[in-house]
Amino acid sequence: MNVSRIYRLLKLITLLQSRRHADVQSLCAEMGVSRRTLFRDLKMLELAGVPYRFEHNKQAYAISDSFFLPPLHFNLQEAMALLLVTRKIISRQVHPAYQPAVDAALKIESQLPDAILKHCGEWLDGVSIRWPRTSSADVVSGLFQTVQRALTERARIRAKYDSVYDGGEITVLLDPLRLIFMSRGWYLIARSLTHDQTRTFKMDRMIEIVLTGEHFEPDPDFSEDEYFGAAWCMIPEGKLYSIKLRFSAEVAASVEEVRWHESQSTIRLDDGRLIFEVEVDGLREITPWVLGYGDQVEVLTPPELREKIREKAVRMVALAEP
């Protein structure tokens, strides 16, 4: 379906919901189309499940009051900000409820005045968003709804989980605390009664989730920030390290312009190189990040991280040998 037809269908939906007299003649005039095109568009709405009806006493079309949101009033900047989210940022790649989100977005768009919708559409034609590679949200969409319900109802769940840490499939009893998108995928933070500790579970490793019928009282003092602590990303290891790195001038700008960690500080040297300092809990997560910069970074401290990088570099060289 081309863009002009999508815009025309949205306009038709708006007209039908406007409560103005929407007979065939007035709809054709408002939309600038023939009767044949109008009936084809109405058929398209029917196939899409849009609940419009023909009111014989008025000889006019209307949309069911319960299907769409009440009229909304957006200014131009609000409409542009909203459509940036609904048309560009919402992505099947990362949104487990992508289709309902799109359906809701279309309902909201149907409330926008034609002039604003047209202006925003022209602006959005020049905007693109490319998400980084992530785990597919489609994989977790069904399980996501069960976890949402558990979070809402404070319901205990039983899950079958493919655990890297435990070396295979395990069954765990969980009190879910948070669903969080980070580090390229969806994760569940939950109190594991099986392990007697709070753990992080990757959603696309969940095999099955069922509600047990039991309920729990979540810890009112639980803090997501305290749980992750000073970890480089999401796995604290229980030991803080003061890390100091020296990046080459070639990559200094790209490193400096990103806020990698709350504790980081940077100093640009006269020769263009960059000193990067950060205090993190554990070395496991930051090690591959440092390795990713290859010969453009030198570990100054701590010696433990320097040794980890050296060992991995030696193994990489050995693997590269013919």
Task: Tell me: do 265 and 313 sit in the same domain.
Answer: yes
Better pLDDT: 263 or 167: 263
For residue 24, tell me if it sits in a domain: yes
If asked whether residues 281 and 310 sit together in one domain, one would say yes
Which amino acid does the sequence have at 77? Q
Pairing of strands 168-182, 197-202: unpaired
Q: What is the CATH number of the domain that holds 44?
A: 1.10.10.10
Question: Residue range 37-53: average pLDDT?
Answer: 86
Into how many domains does the chain fold? 4
Asked if residue 131 is part of any domain, the answer here is no
Q: 54 has which bridge partners?
A: 61
Reported as a single tens digit per residue, the pLDDT across 57-99 is 778 888 876 665 555 677 888 888 888 888 888 888 888 888 8
Quick one: 175 and 218 in the same domain?
Answer: yes
Please report whether residue 305 resides in a domain.
yes
What pLDDT score was predicted for residue 283?
A: 97
Q: Which of 16, 38, 63 is the last residue of a domain?
A: 63
58 and 105 together in one domain: no
**107-120: pLDDT as tens digits:** 778 778 878 888 88
Domain of 150?
Answer: 137-226
Task: Report which of 50, 54, 60 is spatially closest to residue 110, judged by C-alpha positions.
Answer: 50
pTM beyond cutoff 0.75: no
| Statement to judge: residues 286 and 247 lie in one domain | yes
My answer on whether 142 and 222 are in the same domain is yes
* Domain end among 201, 226, 251: 226
For residues 119 and 145, state if they share a domain: no
CA distance 102 to 99: 5
Strand-pair partners of 261? none
Which CATH number do you get for residue 177? Answer: 2.30.30
In a domain, 68, yes or no: no
Query: Is position 233 within any domain?
Result: no
Together in a domain, 116 and 149: no
In this model, does residue 311 exceed pLDDT 90?
yes
pLDDT value of residue 70:
57
CATH number of the domain bearing residue 248 = 3.30.70
Same domain, 82 and 141: no
Residue where one domain finishes, among candidates 226, 253, 281: 226
**Cα–Cα distances in angstroms (integers) from residue 273 to residues 19, 240, 265, in the given order:** 65, 26, 14
- Report whether 243 contacts 282 (CB < 8 A): no
Give which of 151, 229, 156 is closest to 192, Cα–Cα.
Answer: 156
d(CA 216, CA 30): 57
Decide if pLDDT at 290 tops 80: yes
Tell me if 216 is assigned to some domain.
yes
Do 30 and 103 lie in a common domain? Answer: no
Is residue 234 included in any domain, yes or no?
A: no
In a domain, 112, yes or no: yes
Does one domain contain both 281 and 252?
yes
Do residue 246 and residue 316 come from a single domain?
Answer: yes
Helices within the chain (DSSP H only): 3-17, 24-31, 35-47, 76-83, 98-109, 114-124, 141-153, 224-228, 249-256, 286-291, 303-320
